[in-house]
Homo-oligomer: A and B are copies of this chain.
Amino acid sequence: MVQTVNMNKDGEVNLVERELPELEKGAVLLKTSFSEVCGTDVHLRKGQLAGVPYPIIPGHVSTGTIEKINGEVSDIDGNALAIGDPITFLDVHETCNDCWYCLVAKTSTRCPQRKVYGITYSAEDGLLGGWSQYIYLKPGVKIIKFSDAKYLKSFIGAGCGLPTAIHAIQRSSIKLGDTVAIQGSGPVGLMAAFCAKLSGAFQVIMLGAPAHRLDIAKEFGIDQIINIDEYNPTVRVEKVLELTSQKGADVTIEATGVPSAVKEGLTMTRDGGTYTIVGQYTNAGDVQLNPHLDINKKHVTIKGSWGSDLSHFYLAVKLVEQYADSYPFLNIISDEYSLNQIADALDDVENLRVMKAIINPNK
């Protein structure tokens, strides 16, 4: 029997036991090493996402070791997988590769057919979420193998924030020498700031809170930190202008989820610069913009960045393998929770008491 967590429509989470499934040809059974609690899971508990088939087993990004394989299955690099291999997999599944969005517009994160582990599957569909001792990888799920089992934990430290941030970074076209401002110091903001630094920015400015999150940003080498608990929006913008010879940031990336951040972020971006919006994952209301001052006269480029695809996920794995030995990915993890501590984990994430809460279902 396998222990899993079910989340109901009203946000309740319960421990539920289920049978281990039979494997179809091409399927893989994963023994979960780590899963995560991300902001989306808080939204799921509050019922803020449409069309979720509760009860579900939450947990979209997870790592683990292979327990069983039916037939020959390869990772994305074409290597045959074996029992015991340390892996992760793309939670977004069944992007159709058969529709106009996937094949003509090449915007697969807008494909209407996409399914997501831990979000769009019902608990009745099988072990299709990470808050479970085992995860069932359906045939065709994209698997990436780690070069070493030690990355199973550091990868979850970065979590789903890393591929999301990588997508935003690619949309932002950062150039060598740029100043990049990051609004937000949660996992997406932190990873975006780190990737901006890696991508050639000479100065990365983070605007966020609370203090314990900003401390981790400092450990990742972020150049300038502005604690938004200490300054009002006007002063924050002035501080960014001071750091940029009164020009504003070349690139600003929004990772807050707060609509008013968009006005503030555009104001701190330079004429001809780029503003990328990646944090508005759920509908939190409107913002007032002045199209003349904020967009047209500023000659700015604004980019929405939605979700991530396999390329971002693959790069996230490579990035963790490249940098987790020299940067404190494990420090992002505030606490490790067992399956029966899930309610606490959700509370801690919701109240920003932790940077990243991870789940160890076999603890």
Contact A104 B314 (CB under 8 A): yes
Query: Shortest CB–CB separation between residue A32 and chain B, in angstroms?
Result: 24
User: Does A195 touch B at the CB level, under 8 Å?
Assistant: yes
Residues of B within 8 A of A278 (CB): 296
Given that A278-B296, A299-B304 are known contacts, is A289 also in contact with B287, CB under 8 Å in the complex?
Answer: yes
Q: Does A71 contact B (CB under 8 A)?
A: no
Minimum distance in angstroms from A251 CB to a CB of chain B: 12
Query: Restricting to A266-311, which residues have a CB under 8 Å from any CB of B?
Result: 270-272, 277-293, 295-306, 309-311
Copies held by the complex = 4
Q: With A297-B304, A299-B110 in contact, is A282–B292 under 8 Å at CB?
A: yes
Q: Which of B107, B202, B272 contacts A271 (CB 8 A)?
A: B107
On whether the beta carbons of B100 and A271 are closer than 8 Å, the reply is: no
Q: Within 8 Å CB of A53, what residues of B? A: none
Contacts of A284 in B (CB 8 A): 292
* B100 and A76 contact, CB distance less than 8 A: yes
Given A166-B176, A199-B200, A315-B177, is A295 in contact with B290 using a C-beta cutoff of 8 Å?
A: no
| Interface check A232, CB cutoff 8 A | no
Q: Are A283 and B272 in contact (CB under 8 A)?
A: no
Provide the residues of chain B in CB contact with A314, threshold 8 Å: 100, 103-104
Mask of A134-169 contacts with B, CB within 8 angstroms, 1/0: 000000101000000000000000000000001001
A107 contact set on B, CB distance < 8 A: 271-272, 299
Chain B residues, Cβ within 8 Å of A277: 291, 295-296
Which residues A68-99 have CB closer than 8 A to chain B? Answer: 74, 76-78, 97-99
A234 at the interface (CB under 8 A from B): no
* Complexed CA–CA distance, A177 and B176 (Å): 15
Give the distance in Å from the alpha carbon of A176 to the alpha carbon of B299 in the complex: 21
Give the complex CA separation of A280 and B303 in angstroms: 19
Tell me whether B110 and A176 are in contact (CB under 8 A): no
Is A101 part of the contact surface with B, judged by Cβ < 8 Å? yes
Query: In the complex the two chains form, is B299's CB within 8 Å of A280's CB?
Result: no
Can you list 19 A-B pairs, Cβ within 8 angstroms, ordered by A?
A: A76-B103, A77-B245, A78-B99, A78-B100, A104-B311, A105-B271, A169-B176, A176-B319, A177-B318, A259-B290, A259-B292, A262-B295, A280-B297, A282-B292, A283-B290, A283-B292, A284-B292, A297-B306, A301-B304
